[in-house]
Amino acid sequence: MSMDVVQLKTLIHVAELGSLSKAADRLHIAQPALSRQIRLLEKELGVFLFERHGRGMVITDVGREVLEHATRVMFELEAIRNSVAEGRRTFRGMVVMGMTPTVAEIMTVPLVNEIKKAHPELSIRVLSAFSGHLLDWLQRGELELAVSYDPEPLRSLRIKPIMIENLMYVSADKEHPLNLDVPVPFAELGKVELVLPSPRHGLRGIVEACAREAGVELKTSVEADSFGAMIDLVRNGFGATVLPLAPIYSLVNAGHLSAAPLVDPTPARKLVMAHSADRPVSPAARFVGETFRNIAADLVARDVWIGHMI
């Protein structure tokens, strides 16, 4: 029996999750079958890759070395598939892609528009959710690619940075409108009621870290994890908020909202493209990813999406 890709894939997921049962759930494979793959790999190599105990599986030092090689092998396999696929020019079928809610608000229409112009027979399904859900669906094989805010590095994912997005001070106050050309010190947010997402949301963590740096306490009047609900609450006078400019650009242009850059400090977050490290990415999905990056670069260049490409 010689080692194979399935065993290397199993090694990567069990090492990351520290549990056979969690890896079995993620990969949709029965636990005994996964256990057998690990045992066969250990037998082949003549070493123990994991220490087994009641709380799960902990990778050994030699296991860590094997894991490094396994990760590289999966990367090389993908490179081979990509080089073979370069010649194909017409894409059809379905690409399932995940985006966080504010990104979906900005990108869904222009992305679908560009895809349909280039490949009329290619369909796209866009799922919108928080970064944590997107990465879980990606690892389970329910998505081909996801656009997320900067996750922890994981061996089961291939992550490519797209851009750094600046977050803006957003208000509906008609008497004291904000100006895109006039930055506001972050400390000013301590003087107003705010509409913010709940603490489990990444944006809230960024805003609170900036508040600590600026030495201010924030007053949250309402918490809402829905982008649409946040905008409605701000427009109805329940407080100001902190958001990227792009998803509210048309509302700012129409005068329904006003926005200003924040400084000292400037809240920002990194947007990345992620896909599974151990499943092939179809040429169509790669095309969708490249199209996304091109549209993002255009929006950044036109100051619709405030930030900079990486």
d(CA 297, CA 164) in angstroms, rounded, equals: 11
Structure confidence by residue, pLDDT tens digits, 139-157 = 888 999 999 988 777 777 8
Residue 85 confidence (pLDDT): 56
Orientation of helix 5-17 relative to helix 61-85, angle to 10°: 130
Burial class for 93, CB neighbours closer than 10 Å (0-12, 13-18, 19+): exposed
Query: Is the per-residue pLDDT at 17 higher than 90?
Result: no
Compute the Cα dihedral for 212, 99, 236, 166 and give only its sign. Answer: positive
d(CA 13, CA 25) in angstroms, rounded, equals: 11
214 vs 22 pLDDT, higher one? 214
Orientation of helix 5-17 relative to helix 20-27, angle to 10°: 120
Mean pLDDT along residues 229-235: 95
Count other Cβ atoms within 10 Å, centred on residue 5.
12
Residue 172 confidence (pLDDT): 96
Query: Is the per-residue pLDDT at 300 higher than 60?
Result: yes
Count other Cβ atoms within 10 Å, centred on residue 67.
19
